Amino acid sequence: MAEPDAVVPPTEPAATTSVSAEPTVIVDDVHITYRVHGSGGASSIPGTNAVAALRRIATRRKGPGPGVQYIKAVRGMSFVAHKGEAVALIGRNGCGKSTILKGIAGLLPPTKGRVYTSAQPSLLGVGAALVPSLTGERNVILGSLALGLTPEEAKERMDDVVEFAGIGDFISLPMSTYSSGMGARLRFAIAASVSHEILLIDEALATGDADFYRRSSERIRELRDQAGTVFLVSHSTKVVRDTCTRAIWIEQGKIVMDGEVNEVIKAYEKDVETNTGRQAGAAR
Partner 1 sequence: MTTTDATPPMSDLATLAQQYGLEPIGLRPPLHLYIRQVWERRHFITEYAKARAQALNAESRFGQFWEVLNPLLSIAVYYLVFGIILNTRGSVPNYLAFLVIGVFVNSFTQTSVLTGAKSISGHLGLIRAFHFPRAVMPLADVFERFRALRTSLIVCMVIVLLTGEPLTWMWLLVVPAVLLQSMFNFGLTMVFARLTARVRDVAQLLPFMMRTWMYLSGVMYPLGTFIDRLHGPQWVHTLLLINPLAVYIEIVRDALLESYSVPVWNWYLAVFWAIVVLIFGFVYFWKAEERYGRG
82-141 binders of partner 1 (CB under 8 A): 102-111, 114-118, 120-123, 127-134, 138, 141
- For residue 37, state whether it binds partner 1 (rule: CB under 8 A): yes
* Range in contact with partner 1 (rule: CB under 8 A) among 26-34, 160-168, 221-229, 275-283: 26-34
Q: Which is nearer to partner 1, 25 or 167 (CB)?
A: 25
Q: For residue 32, give the H/E element and its range.
A: strand 23-36
Asked if 59 is part of the footprint of partner 1 (rule: CB under 8 A), the reply reads no
Window of 8-16, 209-217, 221-229, 260-268 that interacts with partner 1 by CB under 8 A: 8-16
- 97 to 22, 37, 109, 235, 251: CA distances (angstroms): 24, 22, 15, 11, 9
Residues constituting the chain: 284
Q: How far apart are CA 119 and CA 104, in angstroms?
A: 11
Taking the complex as a whole, how short is the minimal distance between the CB of residue 276 and partner 1, in angstroms? Answer: 30
Which residue stretch of 10-18, 165-173, 218-226, 261-269 sits at the interface with partner 1 (rule: CB under 8 A)?
Answer: 10-18
The rounded distance, in Å, linking the Cα atoms of 176 and 128 is: 10
Question: Binding to partner 1 (CB under 8 A): which residues in 201-220?
Answer: none
Least distance CB 192 / partner 1 (angstroms): 13
> What DSSP string describes 50-93?
HHHHHHHHHTGGGSS-TT-EEEEEEEEEEEEEETT-EEEEE-ST
Judged by CB under 8 A, which of 40, 112, 147, 173 binds partner 1?
A: 147
Instruction: Give the three-class secondary structure for 124.
Output: strand
| Closer to partner 1 by Cβ: residue 216 or 237 | 216
Alpha helices in the chain (DSSP H): 50-58, 97-105, 136-146, 151-165, 180-192, 210-226, 237-243, 261-282
CA torsion angle for 256, 284, 127, 224 (degrees, to 10)?
A: 20
The CA distance from 28 to 72, in Å, is 17
Q: Is 187 in the site for partner 1 (CB under 8 A)?
A: yes
Residue 229 touches partner 1, criterion: CB under 8 A: no
Of 135 and 275, CB closest to partner 1: 135
* Radius of gyration of the chain, Cα coordinates, nearest whole angstrom: 21
Q: Does 64 bind partner 1 (CB under 8 A)?
A: no
Q: How many residues bind partner 1 (CB under 8 A)?
A: 80
The piece of 3-11, 165-173, 203-211, 265-273 that touches partner 1 (CB under 8 A) is 3-11
Instruction: Specify the amino acid at residue 20.
Output: S
User: Segment near partner 1 (CB under 8 A), from 30-38, 89-97, 211-219, 271-279?
Assistant: 30-38
Provide the β-strand partners of residue 202.
233
Cβ contacts of residue 213 below 8 Å, gap of 6+?
206
d(CA 69, CA 144): 34
Would you give the binding string for partner 1 spanning residues 38-57, x where CB under 8 A is met?
A: ----------xxx-xxx-xx
Does residue 20 bind partner 1 (CB under 8 A)? yes
Minimum distance from CB of 107 to partner 1 (Å)?
A: 5
